[in-house]
Amino acid sequence: MIKRIRIQIMDLINQIKEKARKLQKRIVLAEGTELRTLKATEIIIRENLAQIILLGNPDTINSIALANGINIVGADIKDPESDVRREHYAKLMVFIRKSKGLTYQQAIDSLNNPLVFGPVMIKAGDADGEIAGAINSTGDVLRPALQYIKTSPGISVVSGVFFMIFKNKALGDNGLLVLADCAVMPDPDEKQLAEIAIATAKTAKTIANIEPRIAMLSFSTKGSAQHPLANKVINATRIVQELAPELCIDGELQLDAALVDEIGQLKAPGSKVAGKANILVFPGLESANIGYKLVQRLAGAEAIGPILQGMAAPINDLSRGCSVNDIVNMVAITATQAI
Ligand code: ACO
């Protein structure tokens, strides 16, 4: 069984890598002096997955690579503390955040931080995407990205999805379910929840080529419970139907009605999604974050993510416990999001 899940993951990852290879996007690795990041860089260059930009002091980066026998020839190293574009970037930062009172000097100073330099580099058109988080917290990675890259047109909320791969191939699309928002927005309102659903459909299509069937989850199915929290999900579903009528979506649905055919047909007769969902949109971060970890730990599902969505350019946050392979895979995913 475990072997079968591994094969499914490899199929999906290989499909993503193939796309990334064709795109040849410029991906910033902001933690350029971090050992796993350098090991991943060697593999990414060898597998020709993306053009890598490492941030940090070139002497430090090269000496760490040399001392560990890592070949990073082909990576472009940029030093946030001495880069020739600092003045240009600082002016851009002041322009973006003038309403927040950012001064030129504050901008210059904060550019020393690679987690600021990376997103500004992308905003200036000098890179296509960024990954960090192997040694930094989610908040520290996300904040500058939210401040300078901001959201895609028509989207006001950044969120994060997990691709969950189950041994039970009857679930979702051949054992693949996409869960959102497991990573960012603590308590979305109905409009934000609708945006999360729309963004998740796009991510699922772009990265895994799946045709979305979105279940908007609740503790109620089709009015079985009357509560403001269920109403939030009903209203979010309606907003998606207005904004993106082409999407196959239904809600509010309980988890069993979303996934189990007989229960879906019983509780939501005639629904095109009930019993067949491949995207699960949770009503808030608490249920989503706990939910993905429950199925990962108790059902043995493999989790790929979080993959951030809704940003005008892709930034992805690694877990601090990430492996070299996780970084390689996340670079490929980020490259495919940067279309
Ligand atoms: N989408 C779009 N913009 C956002 C979002 C969002 N979800 N959240 C904040 N912003 C914007 C704000 O509007 C603000 O913009 P402005 O400065 O131009 O006005 C800017 O980002 C900073 O916002 P703050 O509210 O000051 O930022 P904060 O420090 O609260 O951090 C963060 C935002 C980091 C995303 C926060 O919501 C957070 O910590 N979320 C939970 C992350 C987390 O811990 N996830 C679970 C772990 S991950 C895992 O287990 C997989």
**Could you give the CA distance from residue 62 to residue 73 in angstroms, rounded to a whole number?**
10
313 within ligand 1 shell (Cβ under 6 A): no
Q: What domains appear along the chain, each with residue ranges and CATH number? A: 2-150+312-337 (3.40.50.10950), 159-306 (3.40.50.10750)
Task: Looking at the CA of residue 160, tell me the nearest atom of ligand 1.
Answer: 51
Supply the residue whose CA is at minimum distance from atom 16 of ligand 1.
Answer: 147
**What's the token pair of residue 68?**
């560990």
- The pLDDT, as a whole number, for residue 10 is 76
Length of the chain (residues): 339
- The pLDDT, as a whole number, for residue 1 is 54
Beta strands in the chain (DSSP E): 26-29, 51-55, 76-78, 129-132, 159-165, 176-180, 213-217, 248-253, 279-281, 302-309, 315-317
Buried b (16+ CB within 10 A) or exposed e, 14-34: eebbebbeeeebbbbbbbbbb
| Cα–Cα nearest to 17, from 53, 54, 48, 52 | 48
Kindly give the parts of the chain with pLDDT less than 50.
none
At 155-198, the pLDDT tens digits run 899 999 999 999 888 899 989 999 999 999 999 999 999 999 99
142 within ligand 1 shell (Cβ under 6 A): yes
Supply the residue whose CA is at minimum distance from atom 22 of ligand 1.
Answer: 143
185 within ligand 1 shell (Cβ under 6 A): yes
**What's the token pair of residue 129?**
């995407």
155 within ligand 1 shell (Cβ under 6 A): no
pLDDT over 70, % of the chain: 98
139 within ligand 1 shell (Cβ under 6 A): yes
Residue 157 CA to ligand 1 center (angstroms) comes to: 9
At 278-332, the pLDDT tens digits run 999 999 999 999 999 999 989 989 888 899 999 999 999 998 888 899 899 999 9
Residue 65 CA to ligand 1 center (angstroms) comes to: 34
289 within ligand 1 shell (Cβ under 6 A): yes
Supply the residue whose CA is at minimum distance from atom 47 of ligand 1.
Answer: 183
143 within ligand 1 shell (Cβ under 6 A): yes
Q: Which amino acid is at 118?
A: G
